Amino acid sequence: MTEFGATFGTMDLTNDVEPVTVLKRSAAELIARATDRHSPIVITQNGRPTAVLQDVHTYERQQRALHLLKLLAQGEQDHRAGRTLDTATVDDLVRTHFAERHGTA
């Protein structure tokens, strides 16, 4: 997002902006809107964006996606640094771990 009020992905920040007074007056309505649309609502104070109201399902989904992106970035760094294992080594490690966990070692 380069500018407040721009469209970002499926979010239309020009239509999903509300002043804090609306949040105070109509919190339940804004929560329902965020939940129905699965789209965040930007809350402003003194005309400036200060907070985001978002439904829990969408928030959790975004957190999972961010976690996966972090894992991918970490994997890419490991690959570049040569911290890799061949398939046979991974297979042995998984078998050993499985056997230890299930008492078949």
Do residues 14 and 49 both lie within one domain?
yes
pLDDT at position 12, please?
Answer: 61
Query: What's 31's domain CATH number?
Result: 3.40.1620.10
Specify the pLDDT at position 103: 84
What residues pair up with 44 in beta bridges, in sequence order? 19, 49
The 3-state DSSP class for residue 105 equals coil
Each residue's pLDDT tens digit, 6-48: 444 555 666 799 999 999 999 999 999 999 999 999 999 999 9
The tens digit of pLDDT for each residue in 42-82 reads 999 999 999 999 999 999 999 999 999 999 999 999 999 99
What is the per-residue pLDDT for 61?
96
Give the per-residue pLDDT at 51. Answer: 97
Q: Are 37 and 67 in contact (CB under 8 A)?
A: no
Instruction: Please check whether residue 4 is in contact with residue 11, taking contact to mean a CB–CB distance below 8 angstroms.
Output: no
Domain hosting 12: range is 7-55
